[in-house]
Amino acid sequence: MHSGVSTLNSDLSTLLIAVRKIAMDIRTGDMKRLLLLMVNAGVLLVSSQAQAQSSVTLYGLIDVGVDWESQAAKAPGQRAASGSAVRMTSLAGSLPSRWGLRGKEELGGGVNVIFDLETGFAPNSGALNNGNRLFGRAAWLGLESQYGTFRMGRQENMTYIGLLKSTVLGPALYSLAALDPYLPNSRSDNAVSYFGEFRHFVAGATYSTGRDAASAAGGATANAGAAYNPAASNCPGNVPGDPVACRQITALVGYWGQMLGLQFVYDQLRGGPGLSAGSVSYDPSMPLLLATSSAKTMRYMASGYFLLGDLSLRGGVIHRMTTTTTDYQTNIFYGGAAYMFRPDIEFEGEISRITTTDQKNANYYVMRATYLLSKRTSVYTMLGFMQNNSRASYAVGAGYHTVAGAKQTGVLVGMQQRF
């Protein structure tokens, strides 16, 4: 890396000398020598630019659809359903809408500077998602080399990375997000990370000194006006005298082969004081207050995939344990398949089940069909069915509400365009 910088400085110095000679030749009228020097200067300029190539890419996707759900409720805890609901998607359709700027600069010796700034937005209104942050999906700077990638800033943690490898639906409106809203929002503020892949063996980790520096205004007076929002759980950390407050650690080890992959993920997040006076942080899985740094939520994920031609099988299990004044545990089991029926048609399906300490159990069934109009544009439809037991009230669409014991059906029709 240092030799590349030295070579660049030497070339620039030589170029400067050449420019001075050109100016002198112009004054003396030596046109033959002037032409030769101009050619040499051009060669040096191209060589200097090649020493430190860089690029910035604008990218994104817009995904919007219309969702119909039976037995919808206006708020959690409602005893009787208000009826069916028809809504345009805001959090996600088949995928969350986003745009971003991704950059890379070659330093030499196989080392690159990289960065990513990514904004999530609601296509139905244009509002910012991810806790109302400008770059709520990503805002990091890092270095990559043959030994792995190092990043600093707000970024996806290992839980998110592991989930994308092991579910066919990803962070769709009908997905595991309906059972655990933390999963599609598993990003960390104030984080440093490392990820490396060596002959299909992978290892990575993140460490955050304050996992979530955003809060959401609302009417929850028990939390100084901060409303429950899994994308803004109100835990900025960096508290003098309490280095554990709002800390988050995630880690992943696994094998990502061309046909078979297995991985294990560990995720620990701590509680602590919130942004508002007297407020505290949330467990992003559900509205449980994590009032002190000793309160914590831990996840253990074991998952994998199997690829055979146009068929993809993915699945796993996620165990979560939240420790506050009492212990609260959940288990999510999931498995799905994706099949590329034709180069322009794909079918996907996933079955999942959640069990909890307080017997709020449910089975969840989702199917998705996608038709590619082009390489960038597609239309899709999703069908979801949530089978709650008498205690559970999980909605078929993530972020929405239903009543306890509901057998709820959802239908989503949408369109997506990538750029």
Please check whether residues 24 and 87 belong to one and the same domain: no
CATH number at residue 170: 2.40.160.10
Domains identified in the chain, total number: 2
- Looking at residue 37, what is its pLDDT? 46
Q: Which two tokens stand for residue 69?
A: 């759900």
In a domain, 161, yes or no: yes
Do 247 and 376 belong to one domain? Answer: yes
User: In DSSP terms, which residues pair with 98 in a beta bridge?
Assistant: 61, 120
How far is it, in rounded angstroms, from Cα 336 to Cα 414?
21
Structural domain containing residue 8 = 1-52
Residue 105 lies in a domain: no
Residue 19 lies in a domain: yes
113 or 217, higher pLDDT: 113
Q: Which residues pair with 250 in a beta bridge?
A: 206, 267
For residue range 150-189, list pLDDT tens digits in order. 999 999 999 999 999 999 999 999 999 999 999 999 999 9
13 with 40, same domain: the answer is yes
- Tokens coding 97: 């809408």
Question: Are residue 158 and residue 45 in the same domain, yes or no?
Answer: no
The residues with which 196 forms a beta bridge, in sequence order, are: 203
Whether 35 has a pLDDT exceeding 70, the answer reads: no
Residue 76 has pLDDT above 70, yes or no: yes
**Cβ–Cβ under 8 Å, residues 387 and 396:** no
pLDDT of residue 326: 85
On whether the CB atoms of residues 416 and 95 are closer than 8 A, the answer is: yes
Confidence of residue 243 (pLDDT cuts 50, 70, 90): very high
Q: Are residues 283 and 413 in the same domain?
A: yes
Which pLDDT value is given to residue 15?
47
Same domain, 80 and 169: yes
Question: Strand 260-270 relative to strand 248-256: parallel, antiparallel, unpaired?
Answer: antiparallel
* Cα–Cα distance measured from residue 395 to residue 387, given in angstroms and rounded to the nearest whole number: 9
How confident is the prediction for the chain on average, in pLDDT? 88
Say whether both 44 and 67 belong to one domain: no
DSSP state of 26: H
pTM: 0.84
35 contacts 21 by C-beta, under 8 angstroms: no
Identify the residue whose tokens are 């190539």. 53
Asked if residue 159 belongs to a domain, the reply is yes
Residue (of 190, 195, 206) closest to 144 by Cα position: 195
User: Which pLDDT belongs to residue 13?
Assistant: 57
Q: Are residues 48 and 158 both part of a single domain? A: no
Residue 395 has pLDDT above 90, yes or no: yes
72 pLDDT higher than 80: yes
Going by pLDDT thresholds of 50, 70 and 90, the confidence category of residue 405 is very high
pLDDT reading at 45 higher than 50: no
Neighbours of 156 (CB within 10 A): 22
Same domain, 76 and 11: no
Q: Is the pLDDT of residue 41 over 50?
A: no
**Higher pLDDT among residues 26 and 358, named by residue:** 358
Is 87 found in the same domain as 44? no
**Residues 6 or more apart whose Cβ sits within 8 Å of residue 325:** none
**Residue 371 neighbours by CB under 8 Å, 6+ apart:** 344, 345, 378, 379, 380
